[in-house]
Structure 1
């Protein structure tokens, strides 16, 4: 598999791609996700403000995929999609109107 399966809005950065490709089982699980599912993981990883948090989220992505999860645990969802309005819960966790969120 040469082309890395991406999300609907977001594209996985090199560090996430490298981590997912490092385990054939994880890569298979990643590829089996819907583009929306991949998008949620990518957005969640990209939302990290610090490098250490980003690395923890990448590691957790691998773990959650192996656990059979299709979306990141405890994530309000990508607010960057233009095909739908953010849900009530997403709006409730937004800090400001610039697309920044208060999620860890």
Structure 2
């Protein structure tokens, strides 16, 4: 935590997500109380957005889900960037292989 902001195990929260979480003391306390893996899942989910509008919507949803008591993003298959565990068969087939196929299209 070099900057004092609690980060994930693999991902670092960008300024826009950090600002949204720090804007409300209650939300920031909930964020600090997540495990590094839980924070990582939210950061990965936000970072996975391809369009700025989707990213902003996911940031708002992160705040809402924390307020609802969630410790991981709802309906998120999980971070595929972690090196401490292999991706599940579903993650590999749907997330990793699909991205690889999509990247090779002209």
| TM more than 0.5 | yes
Instruction: Please give the per-residue CA displacement for 1:30-87, whole angstroms capped at 9, x wherever unaligned.
Output: 0000000000000000000000000000000000000000000000000000111101
1:91 is matched with which residue? 92
Measured after TM superposition, the shift of residue 24 of structure 1 is: 0.3
Q: Which has the higher helix share?
A: 2
After superposing on structure 2, the runs of 4+ consecutive aligned residues of structure 1 that deviate more than 4 Å are: none
Rg larger in structure: 2
Structure 1: runs of 5+ lacking an equivalent? none
CA distance in 2, matches of 1:30, 1:73: 15
Matches within 5 A, 1:39-58: 39-58=40-59
Q: Compute the displacement of 1:97 (Å).
A: 3.7
Q: C-alpha separation between the residues in 1 aligned to 2:94 and 2:20?
A: 29
Match of 2:22 in 1: 21
Normalized against structure 1, the TM-score is what?
0.89
Structure 2: state its 5+ residue gaps. none
Say which SS state the counterpart of residue 5 (structure 1) adopts.
coil
Within 2, Cα distance between the matches of 1:65 and 1:22? Answer: 13
TM-score (norm 2): 0.87
